[in-house]
Amino acid sequence: MSESEADVPRVFRPARALPTDVVRPTRAVVDLDSLRHNLHLLRGAAPGVAIWGVVKADAYGHGAKAVARTLERAGIDGLCVALVEEGVELREAGVTAPILVMGGYYGNAYSELVHHRLTVVLQSEGELEALADAVRRSDGAPLEAHLKVDTGMGRLGERRENWDRWAARLRDRPEIIFDGLMTHLATADRPSTGNAPEQLRNFEGATAIFKRHGLVPRARHAENSAALLGDHPHYDLARPGILLYGVSPFSDGELPASEASRALLRRLRPAMSVKSRIVSLRVLDAGDPVGYGSAFRARRRSLIATVPMGYADGLSRALSNNGELLVRGRRAPIAGVVSMDMTMIDVTDIPGAALGDEVTLLGGRAAPESGEGTHAFEIGATELAARAGTIPWEILTNISRRVPRFYRGA
């Protein structure tokens, strides 16, 4: 061993967490009471339907372990993830609720699925055989699995021409409990123009084929957030995602048909806010540039604030010279290009704007005279998505891991 190697410690002890008052002020706050409130609303919208909350992608950026434990304590019927490792993470965090792994690629992880008692979504006959083999080698009890059929999404699941053969193969696999039959709707968020009715008819056809083979699942499910608020009959189980986090799945002027569903959307409570503070102020003369590429030039004598939050934190670069942040209950336009770590805003028209003022990227507060669910001084994920040319799901999941999460209402 060389001297240089001898000087390198072999064990790295965990670093002491820095106090919150010595790190930058950018942070996300997740209100767990809002999650419970939204879950209660969804139960009321679909009485008798089992609710399995989607907590993939770190619970849409909210923190999967904290969200899953909160929903489990609130009595949710099950949880849905995309990846094996997401399910394992929740099991290792002590979550005991059923966990459905929907992602469709398991590699050589079938033994992990069996060991952690994760519920598999089978997409093909090959996966069926691999899972049955893993159960046999484990000498354990049969494992529950849900089968996915492609009814018109064109992404995952067996297509119609294979349903008969697939059902016959499943019938001969005692290692697998046929617990669920599922599909995914491509256009549930566009009730007036989408093909959801056709997909649901195809799903009924798949149900009939499996029933003809003597296979009747305990649960059928097709409903994501938008479909849960649709005007069709509910199945046994629903898989809401973005609704749980207090954001509407509808855009482009679309809304659910029923007034009850529209009222539910108004009562949602966004669960996450993202805030920072002003760390620099400077007065610019007319014509002075701001930021990379000098993409903004002051049109008048202006007060420009710098906020320590950029696209590496999830503030989309598409909001350059386009978005707004909240300061003192007022909207401050983004001035120039959003950079990796910092963003400038024009606070000229905000009386009293000062160093240390709180700045809100996502969230806000309701006006005292406003009703539940109306936020006079709020910037929501839907608004950010519209300005950035994307969807609210991307806005939430882009809030990066370097933005610490703080939880209230535990």
| Residue 380 in domain | yes
56 noted as active-site residue: yes
Which two three-digit tokens encode residue 44? Answer: 């009321």
Question: Which helix (H) or strand (E) segment is 60 a member of?
Answer: helix 56-60
- Residue 377: pLDDT band by 50, 70, 90 thresholds? confident
- What is the phi/psi pair of residue 73, to 5°? -65, -25
Which of the following is catalytic: 106, 292, 311, 407? 292
CATH number of the domain that residue 355 is part of: 2.40.37.10
The burial class, CB within 10 Å (0-12 / 13-18 / 19+), for 245 is buried
Which of the following is catalytic: 56, 110, 275, 311? 56
| Residue 361 in domain | yes
Q: Are strands 289-290 and 324-327 parallel, antiparallel or unpaired?
A: unpaired
Asked which of 33-47, 84-98, 246-260, 283-297 is least confident by mean pLDDT, the reply is: 246-260
Return all residues near 184 (Cβ < 8 A) that are at least 6 apart.
148, 153, 155, 156, 157, 222, 224
What is the structure's pLDDT at 371? 44
Query: In this structure, are 247 and 280 located in the same domain?
Result: no
What is the structure's pLDDT at 12? 47
65 noted as active-site residue: no
Task: Give, rounded to a whole angstrom, the gap between the first and last alpha carbons of the chain.
Answer: 51
What is the structure's pLDDT at 42? 97
What is the structure's pLDDT at 232? 82
| Residue 154 in domain | yes
Contact 291, 344 (CB under 8 A): yes
Question: Which helix (H) or strand (E) segment is 214 a member of?
Answer: none
Mean pLDDT score of the chain, rounded to an integer?
A: 90
Domain with 289, as residue range(s), is: 272-408
Residue 92, pLDDT above cutoff 50: yes
The pLDDT tens digits for 164-176 are 998 999 999 999 9
Query: In this structure, are 82 and 229 located in the same domain?
Result: yes
Residue 8, pLDDT above cutoff 80: no
Contact 275, 26 (CB under 8 A): yes
Which two three-digit tokens encode residue 393? Answer: 């799901």
Query: In this structure, are 212 and 354 located in the same domain?
Result: no
pTM of the model: 0.90
- Residue where one domain finishes, among candidates 220, 253, 286: 253
Return all residues near 2 (Cβ < 8 A) that are at least 6 apart.
none
Asked which of 79-83, 102-106, 257-261, 386-390 is least confident by mean pLDDT, the reply is: 102-106
Query: In this structure, are 65 and 209 located in the same domain?
Result: yes
Q: How far is it, in rounded angstroms, from Cα 294 to Cα 285?
A: 14
Give DSSP secondary structure letters for 73-132.
HTT-SEEEESSHHHHHHHHHTT--S-EEE-SS--TT-HHHHHHTTPEEEE-SHHHHHHHH
Question: Which helix (H) or strand (E) segment is 326 a member of?
Answer: strand 324-327
Asked which of 1-10, 359-368, 374-383 is least confident by mean pLDDT, the reply is: 1-10
| Residue 25 in domain | no
CATH number of the domain that residue 66 is part of: 3.20.20.10
Residue 357, pLDDT above cutoff 50: yes
The pLDDT tens digits for 247-304 are 999 987 788 878 999 999 999 999 999 999 999 999 999 999 999 999 999 999 999 9
Give DSSP secondary structure letters for 18-55.
PPGGGS-S-EEEEEHHHHHHHHHHHHHHSTT-EEEEE-
- Residue 410: pLDDT band by 50, 70, 90 thresholds? confident
The total number of structural domains that make up the chain: 2
